[in-house]
Amino acid sequence: MKHLTSIALLACAIGVGSSFFTACNNAQPSAGTEADTALPGFFEVGHRGTRGLMPENTIPAMTKGLEAGANTIEFDVHITKDSQVVVYHDASLTPSYTTMPDGSDIPEEERSKYTLYQMNYDSIRRFIIGEKAYPAYPEQQQVRTYAPLLSELVDSVEAYTAAHGLPPAYYLLEIKSSAKTDGEQQPAPEEYMRILMGVKELQPLGDRLLIQSFDMRPLQVLHRTHPHIKLGFLTGDKNTTFEQHLEQLGFTPFFYNPQYQLVTPELISKCHERQIKIVPWTVQETSEMEKLQAMGVDGIITDYPDRLEEVRSRK
């Protein structure tokens, strides 16, 4: 076997015919495949890290989500004025859980002044997340933190899992965009995806990088430019059928992720017939988690991965 390998390598080196060049080139691993691993049998997804337990879309939320049992962390991204990729949900800073650098409230009527696409990241970084009580999530810890860059989030999570002996995390990245707000809240899809995929920390993740969006346009761009990435379409639209969504999308996504109230056994069957995984959002109560698990979904997105872990442990 060693002798045959040597011959093959020699053939590549001296180029004895184009077929050898093709075979040798095909034998090389593609960029980023070092991190490719078997996908989870069930996607336990911490929504915005774990919004129920920590300030959303922050590094503490990501690490807490993994600690609580998630194998996948979900988060949202936007582009800043200086072309950085920042992790945050809304297009502008949200007064309900974000405060001014001096700790005062962001006036609701002035919120549009704090649109992320109109701000440089060094300005965004100074705003405080997590100090203000968030009554909608009474279990959420009050921790002073900030909106991180995507690059920092990935580096921090990778370091955390390595240091704590946890399995490598899967990253479910949600692209926030809408055709109605191109040029105002985000760049057009082609430019947006160029900036996003230019984040070098994403490259080593391989199959651990999963990308989803409600907006079909960036998914269509990525399907063309990065066909190896597993893509997911998000929907809460009860007036458009599964078949219509696939036709509009123009390709078969890896995920079809609906609002959980839209999930039926029939929809699950349609997804599975097409080899599409279905991972509904955002499921908070254990009773609903149990129902969806019994129906046969491929994962669950929740603000409370600790609750989902409890349900899974009883299976």
pLDDT at 66 over 70: yes
CA dihedral (181, 185, 191, 195) positive or negative: negative
pLDDT digits (tens, 9 = 90+) for 237-250: 999 999 999 999 99
> How far is 131 from 128, CA to CA, in rounded Å?
7
Tell me what pLDDT residue 315 has: 79
Instruction: Provide the CB-side half-sphere exposure for 193 (13 A, CA).
Output: 18
Q: Can you give the residue ranges of every domain in the chain?
A: 44-313
Q: In this predicted structure, which of 19-33, 35-49, 152-166, 260-274 has the lowest mean pLDDT?
A: 19-33
pLDDT at 10 over 60: no
Question: Nearest-CA neighbor of 220 among 245, 198, 237, 202?
Answer: 245
pLDDT digits (tens, 9 = 90+) for 190-227: 999 999 999 999 999 999 999 999 999 999 999 999 99
Find the distance separating the first CA and the last CA of the chain, reported in whole Å. Answer: 45
Percent of the chain with pLDDT over 70: 88
pLDDT at 235 over 80: yes
**Surface-to-core class of residue 271, CB atoms within 10 Å of its CB (0-12 exposed, 13-18 middle, 19+ buried):** buried
> The CATH number of 44-313 is which of 3.40.50.1000, 2.40.50.1070, 3.20.20.190, 3.40.50.300?
3.20.20.190
Percent of the chain with pLDDT over 90: 88
Question: Nearest-CA neighbor of 178 among 251, 91, 241?
Answer: 91
Nearest-5° Cα angle at 63, 297 to 43: 10
pTM of the model: 0.89
pLDDT at 30 over 60: no
pLDDT digits (tens, 9 = 90+) for 144-193: 999 999 999 999 999 999 999 999 999 999 999 999 999 999 999 999 99
Tell me what pLDDT residue 37 has: 65
